[in-house]
Structure 1
Amino acid sequence: MNLRLLRQTTCLSVYHDLTNDWLYLDWQGEITLPLVQQACLELAACYLERPYARVLNSNEQVTGVSWSIAAWLVSDFLPYMALAGIEHVAWVYSSSLRGYNMAATVLHWLPGSLITSFDTVAEAATWLAHTRTEQPQSYLIPQRTPATQAKLAQEVAALHQRIATQQLRRHTV
């Protein structure tokens, strides 16, 4: 992989794999709902800049996870994958039991989704490499229609507002 760092948070590093033209998401540490929400806002910002059809999502370095993350991902974040232009996600399980169970729960709650699970990054990368339908021209950046871009921007703004409201409620309770 030839990785270029795009964004980084406490629990997530977002890279563009220049060789394979996919996003590589490297989650690490003990992740909580507020940390995941902030990380997902950074990830959404990457998609506002340009579409990425394929994602390698690694949870290998996740040591612990809050159960509230699964429900939030399924209801507030992952349903917008197609709008963002995502066609395939290779999700690498965490070696921690709680992390593994959270990912398995997300996949169970999203039947027929674009996500396929793996035990290692190597397996996921091999599978994801075979999902490419054609070799992209290195000088062409994938585009989306202006209407789709506007809808995505609207959804990201709404996501930002929902997260801000939830965080405000957490601090006032």
Structure 2
Amino acid sequence: MQTLFDIPGLTIAHDPINKWLHVTWRGEHNKESAIAGCAMILNKVRQTKSTAILNDSSQVRDGWSEAVQWIGQDFFQALADNSIQAIAWVSPLDWPVRIDIERVLSYTTRPLVDTFDEVESAYSWLRTITAPK
């Protein structure tokens, strides 16, 4: 796994074998930091031609209420348009963030997204979804 981007609230790593990005969000975020992080993720998707994302939000402590609709409609659509087929989203313990994630998913039509309580089950699901047919 190769780290492509690393700041205190966000780390993006590339798994070239699986063609995935592993995204780890930490701490508190607001609309601006969420949108900036999403822009960086999209940049790295284009750069690596990744087909899936393991999006680990288990360490997030505040929701992105103001960016929910934009993430679900615009950002996820842009990811799908740029080769992302599936996103495994690891939920945090923080309930406001969990609620925001559910709201994001209510706006999402593509790519395929599922939520998980731990990284291991998210990883297993992605392996199943992205395995060669």
Question: Taking structure 2 as the reference length, what is the TM-score of the superposition?
Answer: 0.89
Give the aligned partner of residue 51 of structure 1: 49
Counterparts of 1:113 and 1:21, CA distance in 2 = 16
Cα distance change of structure 1 residues 36 and 126 upon mapping to structure 2, 3 Å threshold: same
- Residue equivalent to 2:39: 41
User: Highest Rg: 1 or 2?
Assistant: 1
Alignment equivalent of 2:12, drawn from 11, 14, 20: 14
In structure 1, the residue matched to 2:87 is 89
- Tell whether the 8 Å contact from 2:90 to 2:117 is kept in structure 1 after alignment: yes
Of residues 46-55 and 27-36 in structure 1, the stretch that sits farther from structure 2 once superposed is 46-55
Identity over aligned residues, as a percent? 24
> Residue 60 of structure 1: which of 53, 58, 61 is its match?
58
Structure 1 stretches of 4+ moved >6 Å? none
Deviation of 1:74 (Å) = 2.1
Cα RMSD (Å): 1.8
Q: What residue identity is the alignment partner of 2:11?
A: S
The TM-score, its normalising length taken from structure 1, stands at 0.70
Q: 2:114 is matched by which residue type in structure 1?
A: T
Asked if the contact 1:7–1:43 (Cα under 8 Å) also holds between the matched residues in 2, the reply is no
